[in-house]
Structure 1
């Protein structure tokens, strides 16, 4: 079987930069959504896609091994970028990869970009988001619908950042003629409902569906970049002019949008066959200015912040504080233990101990305080065994009273 595919990425109505990247070819479909705001999420996503696109050739039998290896290489490449330029520390990207071998898809996934399968009129989500809100959904604390407006909906828990080296989810999906695969960034799936996506995917060619999914996402109010890849599984080979498609940041799209002009439309067609263009959103802004992001949730989405100067000093101070707290706790515990007393045996005699009747490896928590002249050999077997096991006391006076009681019962003959 073969893939007939289309890929579109649009910067959207609000953002100045497209931090999404995508690639569609005869063997490979992938979307990467860069995160990190000012620390170049566009560079992370484009770097990952450039590494992943090397998968676009007929795979061998170990399809998941190839996917995993490519994801790890993309992560390593991001690590190299950060090492070369520490200012990039904090950049990261999601990655959703589908490698096709003619009969099945090998899927790799990390982050909150998604892959769907549309088969027989039904849409099924293949991937599982690595996000905070998804964990709340899994625990039954919120619904899928509530997650779309949750204040922390942008927080993802796993991504490719060259630091944590997270393992991707890996699984296979058998392919059937007529299947339609949809891979997108959260600019689409975070806005469109499941039913709306299914409605669009049930119509037209891959090119038409991709256009409609992007347009519907923006019309529904998406404030993010939107990237959509749609591919049909067919027993017919595609036309020879269907070349691989590289979209988004990986295709080196313009980073800024001058006001007063339309956003460059990426659509290759619409219902009437025209080229789609999205009007600029701001109205009362000085001419020649650039579109500015609002308070940008991307800045707090996943990537750790650059620790900046004196990070080693902050870590040292934190360690000192923790050691100080631990010392105070230990000192308080030791002081309390030295106010405790119990009665036990020491060298065959009834003895008052100070501390608690316990031991830690290499450390005794008590010591003999008063050794009496009451000998265990002169006590009854029951009394002697009780002393050997240790007898608790409320305080020193109570311990002495216990000793006096045993002294009165000892055999003096």
Structure 2
């Protein structure tokens, strides 16, 4: 079996930048929705998609292993970006990945982008949101309808951020001819009802459905970026001119809905609706602002899990380890220094010192070990100055040999 696919991404009515990224190819469908507002969610999503798109080749038997590995590599790549530029700390992205091997689909998911399956006239949600409101739904505290207008509907609990290394949800299911797989950012599924999405998915070609899902989301009042990927399972190979599609922030030239109201002049809006691009945001509207909402939900979207219990104990153990390590290093350094010797001067006499000829503030690294009866007054000015500056020795025997040489010189000078 083969995939016939289409992908569309639109910046939407409110936001100036598209933080969604998407990719559709013969083997791979993926949507990543960047989180972070000012800390470049667009960079996180595009980085993740660029890493994930390497999956777009015929998979081996370990379908889920390949998906999991690609998600972890995307997370590692985001970690590298944050390490290179600490100003990006806090950026993250959702990731919904669907890998096709010709007979089955493998899915990896983290965050609140979604994957749906439309089969034989019925649609079901494949992925489970990692969000605060989804946890309330799971507990029976609110309904799905209430979740659409909940004040904290934007808070996600898991994302790829290069720091927490969350594990994605992984599962697979068999493919059937006629199946339609729909992958989208929350700009679509957070606005459209399941019935409306099913109505559109059951109409026209994948390209028509993708365009209409974006248009319907914006028409329904979505204030977020909207990215939709639709793929249909078919027995016939797709047209040869169907190339992989890269959309949103990850695309060099993002695919946008043309002002003419059609894609390639072939597809028109659902039931004659307009598919024109939404006009730009007025200059006096701050980025991401909603009417009556002074805070950009995108900037507050990622709600990391609270710190684990006994955080103070872990910090104390780390501090104790570091102090112990420092003590070991200092002890090793002191032990080495006390095996060193040099020749110097104390009160006009030649003396063998144990330690190194250096001092730290408030700490002497050497002490007089053997005092000889060789007086600097009985040596030449050059020899006396050499002793005062300190003479390194390989070991104690070498230091004693140096003193004996000066003693012999002293005796010659005395005769």
Give the TM-score taking structure 2 as reference length: 0.68
Stretches of structure 2 lacking an aligned partner (at least 5 in a row): 290-294, 305-310, 317-415
Instruction: Specify the alignment match of 2:5 in structure 1.
Output: 5
In the TM superposition, what are the counterparts of 1:176-325 in structure 2 within 5 Å?
176-252=176-252, 267-268=263-264, 269-271=267-269, 276-282=276-282, 292-294=287-289, 295-302=295-302
Which residue does the alignment assign to 2:74? 74
Give the whole-Å Cα distance in 2 for the aligned partners of 1:270 and 1:231: 18
Residue 322 of structure 2 corresponds to which residue in structure 1? none
TM-superposed CA distance for 1:10, in Å, is 0.3
Separation in 2, partners of 1:247, 1:264: 20
> Is the radius of gyration larger for structure 1 or structure 2?
2
Partner in structure 1 of residue 113 of structure 2:
113
Encode CA deviations 1:278-307: one digit per residue, 9 max, x unaligned. 23454xx5xxx7863313101111166xxx
Taking the TM superposition and a 5 Å limit, the aligned residue runs for 1:148-187 are: 148-187=148-187
| Alpha-carbon shift at residue 173 of structure 1 (Å) | 1.4
2:94–2:112 CA contact under 8 A, matched in 1 = yes
> 1:55-83: per-residue Cα shift (whole Å, max 9, x none)?
00000000000000000000000000000
Aligned to 1:122: 122
Kept after mapping to 2: 8 A contact 1:161/1:303: no
CA–CA distance in structure 2, aligned partners of residues 264 and 19 of structure 1: 25
User: Do the aligned partners of 2:114 and 2:185 also contact (CA within 8 Å) in 1?
Assistant: yes
Asked whether the 8 Å contact 1:2–1:237 carries over to 2, the reply is: yes
Pair 1:102 & 2:102 matched: yes
1:89 and 1:278, CA in 2 relative to 1: closer, same or farther beyond 3 A? same
Ranges of 4+ aligned residues in structure 1 off by more than 4 Å: 262-268, 272-275
Return closer, same or farther for 1:152/1:274 CA change in 2, 3 Å cut-off.
Answer: closer
Change (3 A) 1:164 1:264: farther
Aligned 8 A contact 1:9 1:266 in 2: no
Cα deviation 1:134-193 (Å, max 9, x = unaligned)? 000000000000000001000000000000000000000110000000000000000001
After superposition, the C-alpha distances for 1:225-276 in whole angstroms (9 at most, x for unaligned) are 000000000001001000000000000458xxxxxxx999995542469862
SS in 2 for 1:299: coil
d(CA) in 1 for partners of 2:244, 2:43: 21
Q: Which consecutive unaligned segments of at least 5 residues does structure 1 have?
A: 255-261, 305-314, 321-413
Asked whether the equivalents of residues 99 and 107 of structure 1 are also in contact (C-alpha less than 8 Å), the reply is yes
Task: Please give the alpha-carbon distance, in whole angstroms, between the structure 2 residues aligned to 1:151 and 1:265.
Answer: 34
The CA deviation at 1:45 is: 0.2
Q: Specify whether residues 247 and 276 from structure 1 end up closer, same or farther in structure 2 by C-alpha distance, changes over 3 A only.
A: same
Task: Quote the Cα distance in structure 2 between the aligned partners of 1:80 and 1:280.
Answer: 34
CA distance in 1, matches of 2:173, 2:149: 31
Aligned residues: 296
Q: Distance in 1 between matches of 2:261 and 2:47?
A: 24
- Rounded to whole Å, the distance in 2 between the matches of 1:139 and 1:243 is 44
**1:298 counterpart SS class:** coil
Task: Provide the rounded CA distance (Å) in 2 between the counterparts of 1:292 and 1:42.
Answer: 14
Q: The residue matched to 1:300 in structure 2 has which SS?
A: coil
CA contact (8 A) 2:156 2:303 kept: no
Query: Matches of 2:23 and 2:215 in 1, distance apart?
Result: 19
SS of corresponding position for 1:165: coil
Q: CA RMSD in A?
A: 2.4
What is the rounded CA distance, in whole Å, between the counterparts of 1:26 and 1:233 in structure 2?
10
Q: Structure 1 residues 295-304 or 128-137, which shifts more?
A: 295-304
User: Quick check: 1:264–1:278 contact (8 Å CA) kept in 2?
Assistant: no
**TM-aligned CA distance change 1:266 to 1:163, over 3 Å:** farther
Using the alignment, how far apart are the partners of 1:151 and 1:43 within structure 2? 26
Q: Is the 8 A contact 1:270 1:276 kept in 2?
A: no
Q: Deviations over 1:319-349 (max 9, x none)?
A: 89xxxxxxxxxxxxxxxxxxxxxxxxxxxxx
Question: Is the 1:10–1:266 Cα contact (8 Å) retained in structure 2?
Answer: no
